[in-house]
Structure 1
Amino acid sequence: MTAAPTPSRPSRPSRPIRRARARGPHRLNGPVLGLALALGFGAAGPLALPAAAHEITAGSFEIIHPMIPLPPRGAKTAAGYMAIANEGDTPDTLVGIETAIARRAEVHGTQMDGTVAKMQAVPRLEIPAGETVLLEPGGLHVMLMGLTGPLAEGDMIPATLVFDRAGRVEIEFMVDPADGGGAMDHMSHGN
C-alpha cells in the first residue's frame, strides 16, 4: 500500500519587485532591508504575511495586506503599509489616498540624512506594468495625519487609492499589533 500524495499549495506567480529605491530619496539599505525581509517582503514578493492577511483585486491591480500598525493611544499620526502589484501591461500612477480616519493621507518616502530619517511627500507614485511596489517600514509608506478617532487592533479602516488610469480602488487597512508592522516614529509629523 502506498501513501497518498500530499496536496501542494499553488505558488504565486513571480513578478519583479520594485522596492522603495526606485527614485530619489526612497532607498533601502542594510538595517531597513533586513527589517523588510523579516516582515516577509523578500525578492520573490510577500513571503510570510500574517495569518489574517488580506488582498484586494481590482482590474489588473492586487493590493496585498494594507495594514496600519496600532499607534500609541492619543497619537495624531499613523503609518500604513501594503504591496501594490500591477499585473497589467500598462503602467499606472497612484495620485491620491482618501480615508475618513485622517484629515490628510499621503504617500511619503524616507530619506536618511546621516542618522536622521526625514519624511518627504511623494505626490505621484509610479506602479510599473508587471511589477510590485512595496510600501514598507523605512521606505515608501502611507502617512495618515490628523487621525479623526482612535484605532483598535483588528479594526478594518476603509480607504480609497486613486490611480491615474485605474481610477478609484476601495481597500481596507487592517489595524495590526503595534509590534507586527515595524512601525517607525511618526509623531513628528504635523496634523
Structure 2
Amino acid sequence: MTIRRWLLAAAIATFALPAFAHDYKVGSLEIGNPWTRATPPSAQSGGGFLTITNKGTAPDRLVAVRSTASNKAEIHEMRMDGNVMRMRELEKGLEIPPGATVELKPGSYHLMFMELKAPFAKDAKIPATLVFEKAGSVDVELSVAAMGAASPAPKH
C-alpha cells in the first residue's frame, strides 16, 4: 500500500468515528458528551445528561428515550414550584430550537431511567436510543461517572 493510500484510509477512518467517541450526530442534531452517575446497589432509577445542538434551520423535538439498562425511560424536567423542587415527565418531549443548544443536566432537563436492571457502575457505558421527531433515532452510550458527580469525567 502506498503512503498516499494509507494516509487516505487513515483520514477516512478518523472522520468516520464520532469525535472523542462521546459525540453523536443525527440529521442536523449533534449530541455531546452523554453521561450518567453511578447508582447504589438498591437504586431503582438513574438520570442521564447530555447536550443537543440543532445546527439546522427548523426546530426538532426529543420525543422518546429507550435503554436496555432499564425497563422504562422518560424525558424529565426538574424545576422549582415555590419552595418545592418538582420533577415531571415532559409528555410532549423536549423542543430543540434551530441554532440552539439544549443542555440536559442535573437539576434541570434530564433523561430518567426507571426500574434499572442493574446498578450503573462507575466507568461503565449505558446504552440508550434517543428518538427525535424529525431527525429520527440515534444510539448513544452514556459514560458512568462517580456517584454524586456534578459533571462527567474529563474526556481522554
Q: How does the TM-score come out when normalised to structure 2?
A: 0.78
Decide which of 128, 137, 156 is 1:159's aligned counterpart. Answer: 128
Distance 2:66 2:101 in 1: 21
Distance 1:117 1:134 in 2: 19
Q: Is 1:89 aligned to residue 89 of structure 2?
A: no
Identity of aligned residues (%): 40
Contact 2:26 2:137 in 1 (8 A): no
How many residues are aligned here?
131
Unaligned runs of 5+ in 2: 1-19, 152-156
What does residue 11 of structure 2 align with?
none
Amino acid at match of 2:104: L
What does residue 119 of structure 1 align with?
87
1:37-186 alignment runs, 5 A limit: 54-123=22-91, 124-181=93-150
Give secondary structure in 2 for the equivalent of 1:179.
Answer: coil
Unaligned runs of 5+ in 1: 1-51, 183-191
Amino acid at match of 1:143: M
Q: How does the TM-score come out when normalised to structure 1?
A: 0.64
Q: Deviations over 1:30-73 (max 9, x none)?
A: xxxxxxxxxxxxxxxxxxxxxx8821122321111111111122
Distance 2:69 2:125 in 1: 11
The structure that is strand-richer by fraction is 2
Deviation at 1:114, TM superposition (A): 3.5
What does residue 27 of structure 1 align with?
none
Query: What is the alpha-carbon root mean square deviation over aligned residues?
Result: 1.6
Q: Which runs of 4+ in 1 moved over 2 A?
A: 113-116, 179-182
Contact 1:135 1:141 in 2 (8 A): yes
Contact 1:93 1:164 in 2 (8 A): yes
Deviation at 1:179, TM superposition (A): 3.2
Contact 1:85 1:133 in 2 (8 A): yes
